[in-house]
Amino acid sequence: MKKIQNLLLVLSITLFYFSCNKQYDDPPVNQVPIGDIILISDLKDMFTGSLTLIDSNYSIFGVITSEETNGNFYKEVYMQDLSGAIKLKLKSSGGLYIGDSIRINIQNVSMSEYGDLIQLENIDVDQQVVKIATEKFVEPYESTINQLSLSEDQSRLVKLNDVEFTELGMTYADAINLNTGSRILSDCNGNTVSVRTSGYANFASDTLPTGKGSVTGIFTIYNSEKQFVIRDINEVQLDSSRCNGSSGGGGSGGDYLYKDFDDGSLTSGGWKTFWSGTNPNLGEWEILFGNIAKASNYSNFNNYACESWLVSPNIDLSNATAPYLIFDNDTRYNGPQLELYISSNYDGFSNPDVQGNWFELTSFVPNWDPDSNDWGFVSSGNIDITQFISSSVTIAYKYVGTSSNGATWEVDNIIITE
Amino acid sequence: MILNYFKSCFIFPFILIFCFSGFKGQTDSSFVIDTVKNIIPVFTTTVDLLDNELQSQDISGLLQSSRDVYVNQAGFNFSAARYRLRGYSSENTRLFINGIPVNDPENGWTIWSYWGGLNDVTRYPETSFGINNSAANFGSIGAYSYMSALPSVKRTGSRVSYASTNRSYRNRAMYTYNSGLNNNGWGFLISGSSRWSDEGYVPGSYYSSGSYLLSIEKKFNEKHTLNLMAFGAPTVQGRQGIAVQETYDLTGDPFYNPYWGYQTQSDGSLKKRNARSRDNHKPYMTLGHYWKVSEKLNIQSNFYAITGKTSNTNLNWVDANDPRPDYYKYLPSYFVNDQGTLSGNQIIENQEQYINISQQWQQNNPDYTQLNWDLMYNANYNNLYTQNNIGNIDSSFTGRRSKYIVEEYRLDPRHYGFNTFGKLDINENSSLNFGINISNYTSRNYRKINDLLGGDFWVDIDQFALRDFNDAALAQNDLQNINNIVGNGDIFGYNYDIHVNKNELFGTYSYNKKRIESFIGLNASTTTFWRDGKMQNGRFPESSLGSSEKQNFYNYGVKFGLLYKITGRHLLSFNGMYKTEAPYVRNAYVSPRTRDQLVPNLSSTEIISGDLNYNIRLPFLKARLTGFYTQINDQTWARSFYHDEYRTFVNYMMTNVDQIFMGIELGFESNITSTVQLTGAFTIGDYLYNSRPVATITRDNSQELIALDKVVYLQNFKIGGMPQQASSLGLKYNAPKYWYAGVNFNYFRDIYLSPNPDRRTAEAISAYGAEYPYRDEIINQTKLSDGNAVNLFCGKSWKIYKNDSYIRLGLNVNNLLDNTSFKTGGFEQLRYDASDIQRFPNKYGYMYGRTYFLMLSYLF
């Protein structure tokens, strides 16, 4: 009997510890005081021209019109009410999203300006902001570039109609070095705003669209310069004919891919190069004359073994019916044929040697330039790629050189269209 | 020899009990290894560090239970400095509890906390060190131990004890009862304990553990005995984290713990809460059959099962500030480091920040030095959010989306196996040990929400992937559950099974003559492992879901030993082993959380080892001197670490890791007088990397390989995390009146931090010329200062003649001089900045200061 008692004692002690996870009460809710409610326009009127500390117990109400999700905004959001809009600089990243209807207590918050754009400093989303509702989307203010007022409309969500980019072939920003891009958006009367895009934006490496249409974003200013920040790449709708009647800078209508290297960059528009070989740089794709892509493994009377890829961005052909690829090519000197590949499962960044199923198109190219001991481009002719239609098509050129020989190859004006 | 035994028992009455009861039991057992080591009397302190926190590498409990004159002392005195026997990590030991092989099939480790608190049962195992003729399997180069829990083998009677201490727990109560076998052949053994502390030695840590063991034996006849046994130790702990030196200096506390913070309770009081809790419970069960086929052949067979869970919590956060108080941007040094890039007012502002933050830390203001749970809750309370496009039905949900959560990493084992092993006495001089083990292991690995901290939901996407790629599918952790809304207790993030099937066969032939004892053993094994994904990851849709290809490895080993008795008192022995082992699955996949991609060049590990021993057994002196040399080649090394900027785990894998372990050990025990004993243990080792491994680096949220085939210049770097030299000198006084007291002086040298492999690559220093003044700072290995500790122990026993019972009182004081400046280890952060190596400085852990362990026990 005693032994059974002991056994029970041991079991009960053990079982006690089965359920011995620590328990905690939820901490109390911090109340954000309301005080007097003022309009954003009233608030901006209080700005003295230099750093202004708001010492009264005020709250502003409004709706958030930008968010940080795609990387184009960092530690900042824009907020708007019926009277106006203002930029909020955040103490830390995150927590406010487009459509959030919020109240901010602004007592002890500082108001400052940057290039005449008025902003609230160091807003602590967790401590000073109360979210009232979500998905209260503000309709953008439809305007022309000329109509936009530097003071009244700054920080406002704006939609510009009948505008187009003027610097075609470029990307929104430099996603490689993470530098901000500034691209000119113009209406048909020559009025312009600068579209500012962060190198961290997930569309920074997209090539500027070539058509004309509408763009929605936040209207900002830097001193007297009118600027514009895109909050969602899907709000860039430039698919009509351009002001001059063409459908875009140099390309033909409805191009899915257009690469002419005229911006002096191999990689703008999401193009990539990969190289492996024996002598650094030899055989790498490079820019010739500022507007042609070239590869050669020859230096100082020697050839160096290498493999060198020039890879297009992933192209969405899901809306295409009979797309074809066409490009100009030129070769000289003895060496392997330039190879052309196509893939529908390339991941967009890996070395194509190790990733993606690549179908070789080399023998389907109607015209390769023969080695005629002379320079001169020929057009490839149309290469039908209808059978490869998918939402993510990639083409790639592969230059191969050996230690005993190697040609020089040049390509230009690479176009997928229909 | 018998005389010697009795003398020891006389000196240590509590051992007397064991001697008698143990003898009685052991005559029934056929599985006693007759090694020299077993004859050396054992001193086992009342304190054991079996409960030590160092989960993976601490086998001090095993060491302490040894009868070996060196190992036993090392176990007591060296474990505080993270000493490892011959430098080996714990996968090189083989441990059996009542027939169950308890090495983890995924990584080979033995983790003592899974049976912590069962000290009464695990106290006196059969243990051998180095290469030996182990009975239950082929063994390895480290240690072999077999703990029996048979009622017929263990000491009979009851034992109840209470201990008070100031280590990870404060109280321990323990009860054990063993009936022995009754006339009908039945016996049962129960043991249970509880250990707890509201706050342990380290601030914010806590401990709450129970343990149980039940073993029932039925002896049917002289030939057949059955045994059914189950044990486990449910344990909940709040953990200790180690931090950068700056935090210790600022707070003035070498045991500063960044893992805890205050949380306001409903009555307004503040309660300490630890974000890193561990909650483990692995029940072990076995059904064993002991078969005495004949006088010459004994066979033991076991069906075993290991189940349960292991759980570790951590904070996670999305779209919010890093909540960890020791995040490098929150420390004063950050404001110094950044000076170079600033100008004008920013410099002044920075200086003000620096002064303010330094003061807050120096004043130990918990708003700065610890977690702030109230802020995290309030951030969650307030984060109203609408999630659209949920699942395939495209619904939406509006609620408070948690910015901060406590998440829980689970690894739940399901391990079933069968083994059988035995001993055949061929003739008077020779015998054969043999056995097979068939093991079928699965672990369920997943992450679940432990606490939403006041919010309503969490969305199962990878924030970083969302920002990096303009494709919502890439951000999904589970493409079968788009934008999955998860709540408390739900699985998210990853979910996969790991399977390991292993079959082993071994045989050891022993030949013993008057002057010679020898053995030669062979083994062969097959190992198959694979991953079975339960989620389709958006970054790796092709390689995350379903079963991966099975990986098969075939391995073998050979070992031998030769002992020559120059006289009965001088013994010389030499042991050697060559074997190959399958790589552990834990190191085999580059990122098992997300995909089944294998580490490139995965291969079996090769072990070559030998030791030469000289044993002296004189009445007044017992000593052993050993030289050892071991190569472990072609190892795979894997670590994951959380990268703040990538917001995900980065996986660093090395293959072709070769290591050398060589050194000497000396242990002695000398009776200066009949009451005073001098003991000593010394080791000098040289534990080195012996190759240039090749590294592959990946991260969990991107297909991009950060590096492939990167050469790591690790040749001749020291293996870190333990002293390579350790010494102990002790003096014991054994009073005739059943009390004893002793003191030990311990000294540790040559402790290195494990090198961060990436800092030893050409790429790390490629940007800097040979003249760059901080180049050496990037490359050179950190060596820690020597350390010392003085330990004191004493005790007394009383015999109550009336009912033939005993009372014992024991006290151990470790680190008597309260030396709190001894850094016993740490690590180089895997994240580093070669242009400013101090930006992510090393993290260090200190040896505990003075601690005590006081125990009162009653045996009846």
Q: pLDDT band at A6, cuts 50/70/90?
A: low
> CATH number for the domain including A194?
2.40.50
User: Which residue in the block uniquely carries the two structure tokens 């005693």?
Assistant: A2
- The answer, for B124 touching chain A at a CB cutoff of 8 Å, is no
Label residue B157 exposed, middle or buried (CB < 10 Å: 0-12, 13-18, 19+): middle
Portion of chain B with pLDDT greater than 70, in percent = 90
Identify whether residues A384 and A305 lie together within a single domain. yes
| DSSP conformation letters of B264-276 | E-TTS-EEEEES-
The pLDDT, as a whole number, for residue A196 is 95
Residue B27 has pLDDT above 50, yes or no: no
| DSSP conformation letters of B705-721 | EEEEEEEB--TTPBP-S
CA distance A292 to chain B (A): 29
Q: What phi and psi, each to the nearest 5 degrees, are found at residue A298?
A: -105, 135
Identify whether residues A289 and A413 lie together within a single domain. yes
Query: Domain boundary at A116, A133, A150, which?
Result: A133
Residue A12 lies in a domain: no
**DSSP state at residue B116:** T
Sequence-ordered list of residues with C-beta below 8 angstroms from that of B748, at least 6 positions apart, any chain: B78, B81, B83, B723, B725, B726, B727, B786, B787, B788, B822, B824
Higher-pLDDT residue of B247 and A303 is: B247
Identify whether residues A272 and A192 lie together within a single domain. no
CA distance A116 to chain B (A): 20
| DSSP conformation letters of B251-263 | HT-TT--TTEEEE
Sequence-ordered list of residues with C-beta below 8 angstroms from that of B214, at least 6 positions apart, any chain: B188, B189, B190, B229, B230, B231
Nearest by CB: B704 against A68, A130, A349? A349
- The answer, for B373 touching chain A at a CB cutoff of 8 Å, is yes
- The answer, for B190 touching chain A at a CB cutoff of 8 Å, is yes
Q: pLDDT band at B468, cuts 50/70/90?
A: low
CB-based contact A329:A338 (threshold 8 Å): yes
Higher-pLDDT residue of B51 and B858 is: B858
Mean of the pLDDT values across residues A204-217? 90
Residue A289 has pLDDT above 90, yes or no: no
Nearest by CB: B454 against A20, A26, A131? A26
Amino acid identity of residue B623, one-letter, is A
Q: How far apart are CA A20 and CA A26, in angstroms?
A: 19
Amino acid identity of residue B515, one-letter, is R
Mean of the pLDDT values across residues B119-129? 84
The pLDDT, as a whole number, for residue A304 is 84
Average per-residue pLDDT in chain A? 87
**Cα angle, residue A186 at apex, residues A183 and A191 outer, rounded to 5°:** 120
The structural domain count of chain B equals 1
Residue B265 lies in a domain: no
Q: pLDDT band at A277, cuts 50/70/90?
A: confident
Sequence-ordered list of residues with C-beta below 8 angstroms from that of B184, at least 6 positions apart, any chain: none
Tell me the per-residue pLDDT of B396-424, one tens digit each, with 9 for 90 and over: 999 999 999 999 999 999 999 999 999 99
| DSSP conformation letters of B433-488 | EEEEEEEEEEEEEEEEEEE-TT-SBEE-B-HHHHHHSS-GGGGBS-TTSTT-EE-T
Type and span of the H or E element at B491: strand B491-512
Identify whether residues A52 and A110 lie together within a single domain. yes
Residues of chain B numbered 307-366 and touching chain A (CB < 8 Å): 318-321
The pLDDT, as a whole number, for residue A21 is 66
Residue B585 has pLDDT above 90, yes or no: yes
The pLDDT, as a whole number, for residue A14 is 54
Mean of the pLDDT values across residues A376-390? 86
The pLDDT, as a whole number, for residue A2 is 58
Identify whether residues A401 and A300 lie together within a single domain. yes
* C-alpha distances out from residue B641 to A4, B28, B255, B699, Å: 50, 51, 23, 9
Residue B428 lies in a domain: yes
Residue A27 to residue B373, Cβ atoms within 8 A: yes
Q: How far apart are CA A342 and CA B538, in angstroms?
A: 23
Identify whether residues A285 and A368 lie together within a single domain. yes
Residue B339 lies in a domain: no
Identify whether residues A109 and A159 lie together within a single domain. no
Task: Provide the token pair at B412.
Answer: 């739940």
Highest mean pLDDT among A326-330, A399-403, B686-690, B802-806: B686-690
Name chain A contacts of B383, Cβ cutoff 8 Å. 95, 131
Residue A251 lies in a domain: no
Q: How far apart are CA A175 and CA A172, in angstroms?
A: 9
Task: Provide the token pair at A221.
Answer: 């200013």
CA distance B377 to chain A (A): 7
Residue A253 has pLDDT above 50, yes or no: no
Residue B661 lies in a domain: yes
Nearest by CB: A202 against B179, B271, B467? B467
CB-based contact A96:A74 (threshold 8 Å): no
Sequence-ordered list of residues with C-beta below 8 angstroms from that of A221, at least 6 positions apart, any chain: A115, A116, A117, A150, A154, A227
Q: pLDDT band at A245, cuts 50/70/90?
A: confident
The pLDDT, as a whole number, for residue A270 is 82
| DSSP conformation letters of A162-198 | EEEESSTT-BSSBTTTTB-EEEEEEETTS-EEEEEE-
* Start-to-end CA span in chain A (Å): 93
The pLDDT, as a whole number, for residue B345 is 74
| DSSP conformation letters of A219-279 | EEEETTEEEEEES-GGGEEEEE--TTSSSSSSS-TT-SEEE--TTS-SSGGG-EEEEEESS
Residue B193 to residue A13, Cβ atoms within 8 A: yes
The structural domain count of chain A equals 3
Q: How far apart are CA B769 and CA B352, in angstroms?
A: 36
**Cα angle, residue B547 at apex, residues B545 and B551 outer, rounded to 5°:** 135
Q: pLDDT band at B66, cuts 50/70/90?
A: low
Q: How many beta-carbon contacts under 8 Å exist across A and B?
A: 138
The pLDDT, as a whole number, for residue B51 is 30
Tell me the per-residue pLDDT of B737-762, one tens digit each, with 9 for 90 and over: 889 999 999 999 999 998 989 899 98
The pLDDT, as a whole number, for residue B484 is 93
Q: pLDDT band at B555, cuts 50/70/90?
A: very high
CB-based contact B520:B153 (threshold 8 Å): no
Q: pLDDT band at B36, cuts 50/70/90?
A: very low
Give the least confident one: A404-418, B399-413, B614-628: A404-418
**DSSP state at residue B585:** G
Mean of the pLDDT values across residues B361-380? 96
Residue A27 lies in a domain: no
Residue A20 to residue B236, Cβ atoms within 8 A: yes
Name chain B contacts of A30, Cβ cutoff 8 Å. 374, 378
Rounded to the nearest 10°, the torsion over CA B830, B832, B837, B838 is: -80
Sequence-ordered list of residues with C-beta below 8 angstroms from that of A62, at least 6 positions apart, any chain: A40, A79, A80, A81, A85, A101, A102
The pLDDT, as a whole number, for residue B60 is 58
Residue A9 lies in a domain: no
User: Which residue in the block uniquely carries the two structure tokens 């082929």?
Assistant: B138
The pLDDT, as a whole number, for residue B380 is 95
Sheet containing B371-372: give its strands across. B270-274, B260-264, B371-372
B309, B383, B405, B543: best mutation site toward chain A, by most A Cβ within 10 Å?
Answer: B383
pTM of the model: 0.80
Higher-pLDDT residue of B82 and B437 is: B437
Distance of CA B386 to the CA centre of its chain: 44
**DSSP state at residue B536:** -
Cβ density class B202-232: b for 16+ within 10 Å, e for less: bbbbbbbbbbbbbbbbbbeeeeebebebbbb
Average per-residue pLDDT in chain B? 87
Sequence-ordered list of residues with C-beta below 8 angstroms from that of B801, at least 6 positions apart, any chain: none
Sequence-ordered list of residues with C-beta below 8 angstroms from that of B286, at least 6 positions apart, any chain: B98, B99, B100, B227, B228, B229, B230, B302, B303, B304, B305
Residue A95 to residue B319, Cβ atoms within 8 A: yes
Task: Provide the token pair at B526.
Answer: 């097959």
Residue B115 lies in a domain: yes
CA distance B711 to chain A (A): 18
Amino acid identity of residue A26, one-letter, is D
Tell me the per-residue pLDDT of B213-243, one tens digit each, with 9 for 90 and over: 999 999 999 999 999 999 999 999 998 888 9
Residue A185 lies in a domain: yes
Identify whether residues A387 and A270 lie together within a single domain. yes
Task: Provide the token pair at A237.
Answer: 């709708």
Q: pLDDT band at B466, cuts 50/70/90?
A: low
Residue A130 to residue B193, Cβ atoms within 8 A: no
Q: pLDDT band at B32, cuts 50/70/90?
A: very low
Residue A406 has pLDDT above 90, yes or no: no
> CATH number for the domain including B531?
2.40.170.20
Query: Domain boundary at A240, A266, A285, which?
Result: A240
Q: pLDDT band at B79, cuts 50/70/90?
A: confident
Give the least confident one: A4-18, A139-153, B292-306, B413-427: A4-18
The pLDDT, as a whole number, for residue B349 is 79
Structural domain span for residue B487 = 6-241+276-315+409-859
Residue B704 to residue A14, Cβ atoms within 8 A: no
Residue B357 lies in a domain: no
- The answer, for A178 touching chain B at a CB cutoff of 8 Å, is no
Residue A93 lies in a domain: yes
Tell me the per-residue pLDDT of B267-286, one tens digit each, with 9 for 90 and over: 999 999 999 999 999 999 99
Structural domain span for residue A94 = 36-133
**DSSP state at residue B757:** G
Tell me the per-residue pLDDT of B479-505, one tens digit each, with 9 for 90 and over: 999 999 999 999 999 999 999 999 999
Identify whether residues A274 and A234 lie together within a single domain. no
Query: Domain boundary at A192, A215, A240, which?
Result: A240
Identify whether residues A340 and A291 lie together within a single domain. yes
- The answer, for A301 touching chain B at a CB cutoff of 8 Å, is no
Q: pLDDT band at B840, cuts 50/70/90?
A: confident
Residue A92 lies in a domain: yes
Residue A376 has pLDDT above 90, yes or no: no
Residue A22 to residue B273, Cβ atoms within 8 A: yes
